[in-house]
Structure 1
Amino acid sequence: MAKTKRRSVLKLAGGAAAASMGGMAAILATGRMPAFAQQRTVHWLKWVDFVPASDTLLRREMLPEAEKALGIKINLETVNGNDLQPRVTAGIQSGAGPDLIMAFNNQTYLYANSVVDLTEIAEAVGKEQGGMYKYARAVCSDGKMFMGMPWAVIGGMIAYRKSWFEEAGATKFPETWEQYREVGKKLKAKGRPIGQTLGHTFGDAPGFTYPYLWSWGGMEVDPSGKVIMNSKETLESVKFMQGFWKDAHDEGGLAWDDTNNNRAFLSQTISATLNGASIYIETLRKPDQYKTEKGAPMHTDILHSPLPKGPAGQFGFHLLQSHMLMKYSKNQDPAKEFLKWIHTEKNFEKWFISQKGFATPCTEKWEGHKVWTDDPVMAPFKVAAKLGQAPGHAGPPNAKAAEALSKYIVTDMYAKAVQGMSAEDAVKWADGELRKIYV
């Protein structure tokens, strides 16, 4: 009996102890706990949320609950959104890094060979919560696998100062680009320009330039993937932008990232900007700090609107977030368990409520949530995930479209033009850059 028990202990203790036949002494000599006693750990990397309360909720409440329920340790790391993609690349190259990494838009296609298929989890959540939006499915799935687990859509709407627009003669938000330009010209003359980035930043720049291009009828490629950027429609959009920028915009916006416009709006140096709802939510959070020039809480003077219509219609491109489970991860099973846990309706709802409408879930059931009726100012964001158009339109949001987005080709076309390059040359440049990708 003694001999049998000793063998059992050695077997549990691991290879090092078994080889030396030294029992507990050998375990202690290795300096490591036995494998059966090691706690499973999941390293989760995501952006620093533009709604700070949500990250606080995760750290103080939700992750401790998940750890207790699942018996795993979750290490949450947050970084600036622009730093996520370099971390993915570094992890793949080194074969080590975070287990779960947040991805933006169709970045998932760039890493399809380096991620774990999450179809089972995604389809289950979609079935339980009213169906997955077409936009989320297109961006996260290539039809064969879910390369990322859809998390949320950050709706991009124009936040604007209601009273300032009324002073400029706009009792409602302008419906067309021409109307927006005319109102913006009046506002800029009063020292209240429109604020818009044309820089290399993940959210607000492409969130503006892509729908703007589509609204004029311009496209990177046709449905077959043939590059058609150099078109009459694209050229007209660039020519209009050159005048629109000079007439109505804060021209320093060229260098902005996704935080500069928030600060400019809150400091009352711009009258409108394409943004998520983070500006409005911040003014709700600190009503005594952010006031209008007349002393009223600023949140009472902020409304939201979709981007204006162009000759070809009205479009939106909203930042879609997903989480990729990396193939190099040694914690794939606990990571999947965590994804299932946090996407369970009663758990996800806590996080969603903390967002106050800044994030729109990727399944249809949430359209009927009271978040949208509790604050009518947030109502335009309710259908962001339903109406979003994927990068690469009218072609598929594949790896080539993702590469073009990552290289900011569409945004740079407009940036070059407003800085002095001729509209014709800017369009030819963009067309040439796209042809290097779509070969």
Structure 2
Amino acid sequence: MAKTKRRSVLKLAGGTAAVSLGGLAGILATGRTPAYAQQKTVHWLKWVDFVPATDQLFRKEMMPEAEKALGIKVNLETVNGNDLQPRVTAGIQSGAGPDLIMSFNNQTYLYANSVVDLTEIAEAVAKREGGLFPYARSICSDGKMFMGMPWAVIGGMIAYRKSWLEEAGYTKFPDTWETYREAAKKLKAKGRPMGQTLGHTFGDAPGFTYPYMWSWGGKEVEADGKTVVINSKGTIDSVKFMQGLWKDGMDEGGLAWDDTNNNRAFLSQTISATLNGASIYIETLRKPDQYKTEKGMPMNKDILHAPLPKGPAGQFGFHLLQSNMLMKYSKNQDAAKEFLKWLHTEANYAKFFNSQKGFATPCTVKWESDKLWDEDPVMTPYKVAARLGQAPGFSGPPNAKAAEGLSKYIITDMYAKAVQGMPAEDAVKWAEAELKKIYSA
């Protein structure tokens, strides 16, 4: 019996027409070709892009091109950005799931033991494209391995209605928090408050609260990455100021917003300004007949971008960094690596970059001088996002402990609790206790 099985296998492997009836029947019954002839599939899980044209580009053009060039099948799956991290956890626990998963910020450190080292690919791209910005390198690499392949930085700037600010007496967007509060109060009195999420959402909430805290001199830990120092005068002052700012000038519904609610509020003309990627402006460019001002003019003509204001300790930014992690449980690691290399060739990455129109800032120096940044001055402020970003955990490293603090929304919740009525000192003490649980473990 053993000899019969061996002959059948040998005949199949040799490509002869002599296939045993039993073997042929088995193949027909399963509906699958023999294992050696099966095409490899790379499953890539990424966020639903805030620029719809990009996901259309991937599905209709780039994924078919990749399949043809690499001889693989690409399964592109998109989900809400807030759903990515639970999918990572589920894949690791079950030992099965997408081969490549998009990661945000320093989440890479949380999964360092569950991902494949991508140093070879990352360093090759860095060498070819003038180097990686330190922000991208610090978040994707712990100095020993690249836990994620740097993909893009989604710059966070304040989108604002130019005419509404002018009507309130401001020819430029406020560059200090005091002036910001003053302007917000005037605008709210006219039914045009500023808007900001303090909810559990991946981008706009921490993108606002971290730089805001830093600008007042607050920080989570010292440079040693161990000593929790959030309970400081700077942090308490920032919380007290936020309490007044929230009541005076903000849309108080922002406590429950995710990363899409502020877009909708701005586009429906219920808020005058909000921290965001460039997706609001890009959407008004895409649909100029749909989005118009109260005077009937295209809204895209009345939108400008500005960085977050500066505080007593300076001006800061925290911009969403995206990378793609290759999971250790993947059975298609070699194919996934080839797919990553293909995505990051200059010609292919350029298609992605151009489709974003400045919403995504590349992680390597080369793209900072790309002509795209000169095509629309409204988008130019996003050009330096990758160069100037500061990572969560400052002034310590953006390691797994800092990533845990970010994932638990401790900094955002500190401000949310305070604007809902908790005394500033108590809100800061709560954050201190939560961070000590993480950093003392």
Shared topology, TM-score over 0.5?
Answer: yes
Partner of 1:256 in structure 2?
257
Residue 115 (str. 1) matches residue 104 (str. 2): no
C-alpha separation in 2, matches of 1:350 and 1:31:
38
Superposed CA deviations along residues 231-263 of structure 1, whole A, max 9, x for unmatched, are 011000001100011111000100000000000
1:282 is matched with 283
**Map of 1:413 onto structure 2:** 414
| Alignment coverage as a number of residue pairs | 432
2:197 maps to 197
**Deviations, residues 124-163 of structure 1 (Å, cap 9, x unaligned):** 0111111101000000001110000000000000000000
Q: Provide, for residues 243-290 of structure 1, a one-character-per-residue CA deviation record: whole Å limited to 9, x for no partner.
A: 011111000100000000000000000000000000000000000000
- 1:37-56 aligned within 5 A: 37-56=37-56
Q: Which residue of 2 aligns with 1:125?
A: 125
- Looking at structure 2, the residues matched to 136 and 82 of structure 1 have their Cα atoms a distance apart, in angstroms, of 21
Within 5 Å, give how 1:97-112 maps onto structure 2.
Answer: 97-112=97-112
Change beyond 3 A, Cα 1:68–1:310: same
Correspondences of 1:129-208 after superposition (within 5 Å)? 129-208=129-208
Correspondences of 1:53-68 after superposition (within 5 Å): 53-68=53-68
Contact 1:199 1:255 in 2 (8 A): yes
Equivalent position amino acid for 2:381 in 1: P
The aligned runs of 1:298-309 (5 Å cut-off) are: 298-309=299-310
1:9 aligns with 2:6: no
1:363 maps to a residue whose letter is: T
The CA deviation at 1:370 is 1.3
Q: Does the 8 Å CA contact 1:12/1:36 hold for their aligned counterparts?
A: no
1:299 maps to amino acid: N
Letter in 2 for 1:377: V
CA deviation profile, 1:364-384 (whole Å, cap 9, x unmatched): 100111111000100000010
Note the alpha carbon deviations across 1:153-200, whole angstroms, 9 max, x for none.
000000000000011111011110001000111000000000000000
Q: TM-score, normalised by structure 1?
A: 0.96
State the alpha-carbon separation in 2 of the partners of residues 30 and 51 from structure 1. Answer: 41
Q: Distance in 2 between matches of 1:75 and 1:23?
A: 30
Give the conservation status (yes or no) of the 8 Å contact 1:10–1:21: no
Map of 1:247 onto structure 2: 248
One-letter code aligned to 2:78? T
CA displacement, residues 341-384 of structure 1 (integer Å, 9 cap, x when unaligned) = 01001100001000000000000100111111000100000010
Runs of 4+ off more than 3 Å: 4-8, 10-13, 20-32
1:322 counterpart SS class: strand
CA–CA distance in structure 1, aligned partners of residues 296 and 9 of structure 2: 78
- The residue correspondences of 1:283-432 to structure 2 (distance < 5 A) are 283-432=284-433
Determine if the alignment matches structure 1 residue 89 to structure 2 residue 84.
no
SS of the aligned residue for 2:255 comes to helix
**CA positional deviation for 1:230:** 0.4
Cα deviation for residue 23 of structure 1 reads 5.5
Counterpart AA for 1:9: K
Task: Provide structure 2 residue ranges, at least 5 long, that are not aligned to the other structure.
Answer: 1-5
Is contact 1:9–1:23 with CA below 8 Å preserved after alignment? no
Post-superposition shift, 1:36? 2.1
Distance 1:196 1:111, change over 3 A: same
- Which amino acid in the other structure matches residue 343 of structure 2? I
Instruction: Quote the Cα distance in structure 2 between the aligned partners of 1:261 and 1:7.
Output: 61
Bigger CA drift: 22-31 or 143-152?
Answer: 22-31
Q: Aligned pair in 2 of structure 1 residues 8, 245: CA closer, same or farther (>3 Å)?
A: same
Structure 1 match to 2:3: none
Any idea what SS the aligned residue of 1:160 has?
strand
- Asked whether the 8 Å contact 1:10–1:23 carries over to 2, the reply is no
Q: What secondary structure, in the 3-state scheme, does the structure 1 residue paired with 2:378 have?
A: helix
Q: Please tell me whether the aligned partners of residues 109 and 399 of structure 1 are also in contact (alpha carbons under 8 angstroms).
A: yes
Question: What TM-score do you get using the length of structure 2 for normalisation?
Answer: 0.95
Q: Which amino acid aligns with 2:428?
A: V
Asked whether the equivalents of residues 141 and 148 of structure 1 are also in contact (C-alpha less than 8 Å), the reply is: yes
Give 1:89's aligned amino acid: T
Q: CA deviation at 1:34?
A: 1.3
Identity of aligned residues (%): 81
Alpha-carbon deviation of 1:9? 2.3
CA 1:163–1:11 in 2, change beyond 3 Å: closer, same or farther? Answer: same
Query: 1:10/1:222 Cα in 2 relative to 1: closer, same or farther (>3 Å)?
Result: same
Q: Distance in 2 between matches of 1:168 and 1:31?
A: 69
Cα distance in 2 for partners of 1:216, 1:382 equals 25
Shift of 1:35: 1.8
Aligned to 2:266: 265
Shift of 1:11: 4.1
Q: In the aligned structure 1, how far is the partner of 2:140 from the partner of 2:430?
A: 30
CA distance in 1, matches of 2:71, 2:33: 17
